[in-house]
Structure 1
Amino acid sequence: MRVLLTGATGFVGRAVLGRLAASDDLQAVAAIRGDALSDCPPHVSTVQVAGLEDGTDWSQALNQADVVIHGAARVHVMNDTEADPLEAFRKVNVEGTLSLARQAAGLGIRRFIFISSIKVNGEGTPLNEPYVADATPAPADPYGISKMEAEQGLREIAGESGMEVVIIRPVLVYGPGVRANFLNMMRWLDKGIPLPFGAIHNRRSLVALDNLADLIVTCIRHPAAANQTFLVSDGEDLSTTQLLTRMAQALGKPARLLPVPSVLLERGAQLLGKRALSQRLCGSLQVDIAKTRELLGWTPPVGVDEALVSAANYYKDRQR
Structure 2
Amino acid sequence: MKPKFPILKNFKIFGIISILLCATGLVALIALPFGQNFFNLSIDFAGGTEMEFNLHKTVDQTVQTEVRELFQEVTGVDPSSVTSSGDSNENVLIRSTSIDSEKRAAVIDKMVETYSLDKDGKDLYNNNDVSPSVGSDLQRAAFLCAVVAIVLMLIYITIRFELTSGLAAVTCLIHDLLIMLSVYVWFQIPLDTGFIAAALTILGYSINASIIVFDRIRENLRVARKEPFEEVAERSVWQTMGRTINTTLTTLFTVGMIFVLGVPSLKQFTLPLIVGIVAGAWSSIMLSASFWSFYRKHFRKKRI
> Which has the bigger relative contact order, CA under 8 A and spacing at least 6?
2
Higher helix share: 2
Give 1 or 2 for the bigger CA radius of gyration: 2
Fold shared, TM-score > 0.5 on shorter chain: no
Q: TM-score, normalised by structure 1?
A: 0.29
Q: TM-score, normalised by structure 2?
A: 0.30
